[in-house]
Amino acid sequence: MDINTFSSGGILLEHRQVLNNVGAQTGAPTRLDISRNSFPSDFIFGVASSAYQIEGGALEGGKGPCTWDTETSKPGRILDGSTANVACDSYHKYQADVDLIHNIGYDAYRFSIAWSRIYPEGVGERPNQEGLDYYNRLIDSLLKSGIKPFITLCHFDLPQALVDKFGGWHGSEIVPAFAAYAETCFKSFGDRVRHWITINEPTIDLAFNAGVSAAMEANEVTRYKAGHNMILAHAHAAKIYREKYQGSSDGVIGISLDIQWFEPLTDSPEDIEASETALAFRGGWFLDPFFRGEYPAAIRKTWGYSLPSFTPEESRIVKGSADFLGVNYYTAYYVTSKPCDGFSNEPAFPVTMPSSVYVGDTKNGVLIGAQTPTGLRACPDGLARLLLFLKSKYGNPLIYITENGYSEKRNPEMTLEESLQDGERTEFFRSHIRSLLEAHKNGVNVRGYFAWTLMDNFEWLWGYGFLFGICYVDFQNNQKRYLKESALWFKKFLQK
């Protein structure tokens, strides 16, 4: 069977045959059996971060309060009671970040802009010059070191003023507000930045429920409305970029979605259909509008009139508005069509799956992937399978892996030396990049990979209790950064 043809079920079965040997090849943690030279020379390897998680300077430089400043001030909201008021202090130590990235040898850095640094109130006549200056310094420093900036315009942190005014992503007023903010960024940085990501992981609660009152928190109906506003906000920003700023440059604009792989529990047509439905509810919710101009039939069937519709004009603006798809990949699940032990159709996804979809993580007593400290299973094969699925389903779009990473639980008892030993993380990266290579060899149009994340940082509701960094940050000693074993592995991997 030709793996490039998508037919219901066929592609999923074929992936399994093509990729069956991937998992079997995971081995000794630090083995360097692949390198960047296994990929084309223009393939981009980078590392990612986000403004709120690293910058600190919460109320410096004219920054306005954001939704996550609100969340961290709510008693009991953050697991370890911490805030990100200082975090990694990148607002002052951005040069140390650039030096790390350069030292490891990455080609690119994905970071986000704090909207409330540019417009403290979310909207305004004039942007905050100190905010623009900060990002100008960062961009110039990256370019000086030969590192390409990939900018995310909104990574969960919305100006709180917009939530107070109209509910943030819940109000349709957000669409012109986001477009205006995006345009300011294109105008200010577009002469030096070629890669733009409008929104990070729009489908999850951390993005659209932060800063809102308990009464306004999204339910099954309102979250589709918030998602709709995000899709339109992306599309309007992309339209402005293309009409006024893309020009003859090779600049591109896309969006980063968190998508898991859903492996059918068996090869039965029902389980294969359940897998496709699960994928429609996760990625398809946004991807179908971008690549086909409308929501997936499976979501429409389940939610009927509660799901917003695109007017013909909106559909025209939305369809084709993503030059590339950013994929944030962390884990995979099994899926089946019938109730079965250990499987549920109300898993912890933001949206409830229909009654024909049951999700679990174990088959014949074996987990789909190694358990990681945050509870996500590491399933490298799932990355290649997901990429092949996206290729078949959406016409082989340009893809960047914009996040992929491994958590560890903070252990304050460990010495510095011990904290730098992260063999499991190293193995996580090695096996996932190997899977990525497999997908690339099978024709997936993937052109870049970003490790999550540059350094230990503020991990949202977990505070500093779970760490994803390839560099250790000594939060007690002036936020000094140290390379972990995984960073050293990347350094070797990236040597030309």
Please give the residue ranges that form the binding site for ligand BGC (CB under 6 A): 50, 200-201, 258, 328, 403, 452, 459, 468
On the CB side of 198, how many CA atoms lie within 13 Å of its CA?
Answer: 31
Comparing CB distances to ligand BGC, the nearer of 466 and 490 is 466
Does the active-site annotation cover 201? yes
Catalytic entry in 55, 314, 403, 408: 403
Comparing CB distances to ligand BGC, the nearer of 277 and 404 is 404
Q: What are the φ/ψ torsions at residue 429 (nearest 5 degrees)?
A: -65, -45
Q: In the bound complex, what is the minimum distance in angstroms from residue 328's beta carbon to ligand BGC? A: 6
Distance from the Cα of residue 448 to its chain's centroid: 13
> For 293-428, where are the E strands, in sequence order?
324-328, 332-336, 358-360, 362-363, 366-367, 370-371, 377-378, 399-403, 408-409
- CA dist 10 and 21 (Å) reads 19
Cis peptide before 198 (omega within 30 of 0): no
Across-strand partners of 401?
A: 327, 449
**CA triplet 302, 306, 312: central angle to 5 degrees?**
100
Q: In the bound complex, what is the minimum distance in angstroms from residue 58's beta carbon to ligand BGC? A: 17
> Which of 87, 95, 195 is closest to 138 using CA atoms?
95
- CA dist 143 and 166 (Å) reads 38
Comparing CB distances to ligand BGC, the nearer of 303 and 462 is 462
Distance from the Cα of residue 166 to its chain's centroid: 26
* Helix (H), strand (E) at residue 52: helix 51-54
Catalytic entry in 55, 201, 263, 438: 201
Own/partner long-range contacts of 67-75 (Cβ < 8 Å, ≥24 apart): 67/156, 67/157, 67/158, 67/159, 67/160, 67/163, 67/168, 67/210, 67/211, 67/212, 68/156, 68/157, 68/210, 68/211, 68/460, 69/160, 70/160, 70/163, 70/210, 70/211, 71/210, 71/211, 71/461
Distance from the Cα of residue 215 to its chain's centroid: 27
- CA dist 138 and 120 (Å) reads 20
- CA dist 207 and 201 (Å) reads 7
Does the active-site annotation cover 220? no
* Helix (H), strand (E) at residue 253: strand 252-258
64 and 121 in contact (C-beta within 8 Å)?
A: yes
Comparing CB distances to ligand BGC, the nearer of 427 and 459 is 459
| Helix, strand, or coil (residue 63) | coil
Comparing CB distances to ligand BGC, the nearer of 200 and 435 is 200
Q: In the bound complex, what is the minimum distance in angstroms from residue 89's beta carbon to ligand BGC? A: 18
Q: Where are the alpha helices (DSSP H) in 167-284?
A: 174-189, 205-208, 220-240, 269-279
Tokens of 243: 């009409």
- CA dist 128 and 16 (Å) reads 52
> Which of 214, 236, 335 is closest to 282 using CA atoms?
335
Q: What are the φ/ψ torsions at residue 257 (nearest 5 degrees)?
A: -115, 145
Annotated catalytic sites, by residue?
A: 201, 403
